[in-house]
Every structure is written in structure tokens, then in C-alpha cells.
Amino acid sequence: MLKGIIFDMDGTITLTEQLHYEAFNRVFREHGVTDFTVEEEIKRFAGVGSRNTFTQVFKEREIVVSPEEIEKCMAKKKELYKKIVQGSQIEAVAGAQDFIKRIHELGLKKIIATGNSDMQIVRFILEKTGVNGYFPEILSITEVAHGKPFPDVFIEAVKRLGLKPDECVVFEDAINGVKAAKSAGIRCIALATTTSREDLLKAGADAVVKDYNEISDEMLNI
């Protein structure tokens, strides 16, 4: 029986994945990377963390960058993302507010497991979309050893909820997130907000929906 829900944030609760891409792309362009696409950011690097994203992209383009410069890139991306978010109209995935309110009323435990490291900006985004008060705890991938697609963040989320993997479900929108959830032994419902239904199913999603309005009690097992 379902007792807890673990949410990713960008692309899962809020339509903010594009804003990450904009911040990454500005920094990459300053270092001569002009072919970094939004598709690459979402399919390959969503949830892996800024350090791994910068390191891998520079390596693949054969651009030599020191560890110190990687740190500077990360800091600049973080600051750019913050400015972009603060200047943007933040939207929630359709049906997200009502769904989160409903599971709260049902007494289900919930936690956010996000690739974001800046909790201040995470809270700002959640406040903008009207769901901040429903999440007393937020877990960042910077608090675990490995980002997605490794299962670390979801294993830790289950522990913090005080539950077992088979008592939880993960909501994700990205391939890496789906793989991480399944590697952690947790059911995963994917939202096709940033990634195609076919790719999400191929990654191992147990079900794929367009938005929260398509989620049934049977799907949740409640």
C-alpha cells in the first residue's frame, strides 16, 4: 500500500527545466561551447548535477578546464539560474497543486528530491507555485554521493520518510530520474513534460502521464 511520494521538482512539479538550460548555455558559450542543446541537457544531464554536467560536456568537446574553473562555472550557473528564475513567470505542471493538496489530505508522506543545490531558490519556486507549505523537507543531490541516474538520492529520500521502497512511488520527468528510481527499487510514474512517452517507458517508467490530471487512485495503489 502506498504510504509516501517522492517528487523531483524541475519538470515534475514546476515547468522550470528550460530555465536550467538557459543558465547552462550562457556559461558554456563563454567557454566556446555553442552546440549544447536543450534536448541534450534534459535527456543526458537532468538530475546529474552541475559539476558532472560541466565536466562531461567539456571533456566531450575536448576543452581543457581545470577543477578550479569548473567550480567557477558552477557558481556562475547557480547565480544565473537564480536571476532567470526571479525574472520569470513560474508555472506548475497542470494539476500539480490540486494533486499535492489531495495527497496531503490523505495523510501520505512526501518529500522532494531535486538536482537543485540552492534551497533558497527552490523554496522561492515552490512558493511561486503555491505548494511550498506542503513540503517540510527537501533533499538535494548534493547531499548524497552520486546524482541521478544513480539511486542515492531516492534511497536517502525513502530513509527520511521512514518507509520502505515498496511503500513509495517516485514522480519524475527525466530519463536519469526514472533510471535512478528503478535502481532504488521504487515504482516510478513519469510525467511527459520534458521527455517523450517512448523514452520514459524505455527508461523503465511503470506508467507515463501527460500531467497530474491523468493520475488515478488505481495508478497510485491507494
pLDDT tens per residue across span 143-178: 999 989 999 999 999 999 999 999 999 999 999 999
What is the reported pLDDT for 46? Answer: 81
In the chain, which residues fall in CATH 1.10.150.240? 17-86
Q: Do the Cβ atoms of 172 and 199 come closer than 8 Å? A: no
Cβ pair 206, 26 in contact under 8 A: no
Using DSSP, state whether 66 is helix, strand or coil.
coil
Q: φ and ψ at 111, to 5 degrees?
A: -155, 150
Write down the pLDDT at residue 44.
Answer: 84
CB 190 within 8 A of CB 170: no
Nearest alpha carbon to residue 7 among 106, 91, 126, 89: 126
First to last CA, the chain: 6
CATH architecture of 4-15+91-220: 3-Layer(aba) Sandwich (3.40)
Q: Kindly report the CATH number that applies to the domain delimited by 17-86.
A: 1.10.150.240
- Is the separation of the CB atoms in 212 and 192 below 8 Å? no
Pinpoint the residues of the chain covered by CATH 3.40.50.1000.
4-15+91-220
Three-state secondary structure call for residue 179: helix
Cell representation of residue 101 = 493538496
Model pLDDT, residue 49: 83
pLDDT of residue 136: 93
* Ranges of the chain with pLDDT below 70: none
pLDDT of residue 9: 95
pLDDT of amino acid 64:
93
- Element holding 170 (H helix, E strand): strand 168-172
Q: CA 119 to CA 121: how far, in whole Å?
A: 5
Q: What is the DSSP letter of 44?
A: I
Q: What is the pLDDT of residue 174?
A: 92
Whose CA is closest to 139, among 161, 164, 163? 161
pTM of the model: 0.90
> In the prediction, which pLDDT does 183 show?
98
Residue 112, SS3?
A: strand
